[in-house]
Amino acid sequence: MRTIRHLTNSGPDPAAHPAAWERGRLLHTVSLLLEAEGIAPSAIGPDGEPVRTGYRTSEGGRPGQVLVRWVGPRGSGARYEEQEHLRRCQDVLRDWGFDALVVRGPGRRHHVEVEAGHG
């Protein structure tokens, strides 16, 4: 990502904000950055239910927005760990210049709302 930013962004610190390439592939970019930091994604079984605890990304409610949730199999305790893990996700994404905010959504579950901001 740093190389893409240095080649395509301008200004005094081209690595400080997301490049157009990242903005156009925000869902994939967010997932790549989280995995690069050692944060494991959740895995889904054949029935569509989580079989491994981790993050899950999805398109947000607005264009240019991605949601990051912390999910796991039933009984895994993922719900009780979500704030800690989502804060780590938030920190990673902010360090890369994204706007990332942990919010409480439906069912009192937390998630991170991510946008590329105005770079």
Instruction: State residue 65's pLDDT score.
Output: 97
pLDDT tens-digit series, residues 87-115: 999 999 999 999 999 999 888 899 999 99
Confirm if 43 and 71 have CB atoms less than 8 A apart: no
User: What's the pLDDT at 24?
Assistant: 93
- Rounded to an integer, the average pLDDT of 60-76 is 95
Q: What is the pLDDT of residue 118?
A: 65
Question: What is the per-residue pLDDT for 119?
Answer: 52
The model's pLDDT over 9-67, given as tens digits with 9 standing for 90+, comes to 888 888 888 999 999 999 999 999 999 999 999 999 999 999 999 999 999 999 999 99
80: pLDDT confidence band, cut at 50, 70 and 90? very high
55: closest CA among 93, 20, 1, 97?
A: 93
Residue 96 CA to residue 108 CA, distance in Å, equals 28
Give the list of residues 6+ apart from residue 56 with CB closer than 8 angstroms, or none: 41, 42, 50, 68, 69, 70, 71
- Whole-number pLDDT of residue 1: 82
C-alpha span between 71 and 77 (Å, rounded)? 9
pLDDT level of residue 69 (50, 70, 90 thresholds): very high
pTM tops 0.75: yes
